[in-house]
Amino acid sequence: MKIKTVRRAVAVCSTNLIEARDKLRKIKPNAKTHLVTIYEHADFRGANSDIYGEYGNCDANGYRIPLTYSWRNNLSSVQGFNDCNRGNFTQHSDNNHSRALELSARNIEEFNDNTEGIRAHHG
């Protein structure tokens, strides 16, 4: 697997999808594929952020999802879109611990409030 071809995703915060798309087009005109939505609480609840990619749907390599400091300590569920049906999660407290979970994931188990990063991909 060619990890070097993994793309970096773009995060946009908004309470409203149309507003988020407008903001995103100003920042990254080509970033239009919705990859994942990340949530503060389990079961896709609480504060959330939509993550977009500029290279189309998830493939076997997928995208590295950047997480802010706050999200690393608060992420609890993840919805996947556009072929992003698996997420390789790495723990924040132990960067040596990584494991794939199916997306969408209502509960991210040992990565709850403890995720360093996610590689969303198709698998």
Identify the helix (H) or strand (E) that includes residue 114: none
**Smallest distance from Ca ion to CB 97, Å:** 18
Check residue 74 for interaction with Ca ion (CB under 5 A).
yes
- Minimum CB distance to Ca ion, residue 113 (Å): 5
Chosen residue from 76, 77, 90, 114 binding Ca ion by CB under 5 A: 76
Least distance from Ca ion to the Cβ atom of residue 56, Å? 30
Task: Name the closest residue to Ca ion (Cβ).
Answer: 76
Nearer to Ca ion, 49 or 76 (CB): 76
- Listed residue (3, 103, 95, 88) closest to 44, CA to CA: 103
Q: Does 77 bind Ca ion (CB under 5 A)?
A: no
The C-alpha angle 49, 111, 104, rounded to 5 degrees, equals 55
114 binds Ca ion (CB under 5 A): no
Spell out the alpha helix ranges (H) of the chain: 17-27, 69-72
* Whether the Cβ atoms of residue 24 and residue 12 lie closer than 8 Å to each other: yes
CB of residue 87 to Ca ion, shortest distance in Å = 16
49 binds Ca ion (CB under 5 A): no
Question: Can you tell me the distance from the alpha carbon of 45 to that of 27, in angstroms, rounded to the nearest whole number?
Answer: 27
